[in-house]
Amino acid sequence: MSHLNSKIIHITPSGTSIRRIDQNHLHIDFKNIQSVGLENIVDVEHHTINTIYNSRSHLIQFRNGGEVSFVYNDRGQLVDLRAIGVNLILGQNNQLIFSIKPIDTSTP
């Protein structure tokens, strides 16, 4: 699943680009992520943190079966993020927020 041959479908004002890989997959290139968070902690079924060399990895499993995994290096930079079965909100100040609730698209 290479994102190199895919077309950019959206670029945010902060420089984040979104590419459609296929019908079920997107590649999102985030610029300057400041934090990763949860909309509601009660949605978390299990959270595992591992430290490997100069990085810290997190695996969050949600009650609905969704999962998020991400890795920070020792400088606090987000170096990898993967998510399935969850909503992702890119908030103000480049904050990533995960949620299992449907996103309300009825309001502009």
Tens digit of pLDDT for each residue in 23-53?
A: 777 777 777 777 888 999 999 999 999 998 8
Q: What is the pLDDT of residue 1?
A: 47
Calpha distance 61→67 (Å, rounded): 5
List the 35-38 sheet strands across, edge first: 35-38, 95-99, 87-91
pTM score over 0.85: no
Tens digit of pLDDT for each residue in 54-89?
A: 999 999 999 988 999 999 999 888 888 888 888 888
Calpha distance 38→65 (Å, rounded): 15
Name the DSSP letter for residue 7: P
Other C-beta atoms within 10 Å of 60: how many? 21
Q: For 17-105, where are the E strands, in sequence order?
A: 17-22, 25-29, 35-38, 44-52, 55-62, 67-73, 78-84, 87-91, 95-99
| Inter-residue contact 94 to 30 (CB < 8 Å) | yes
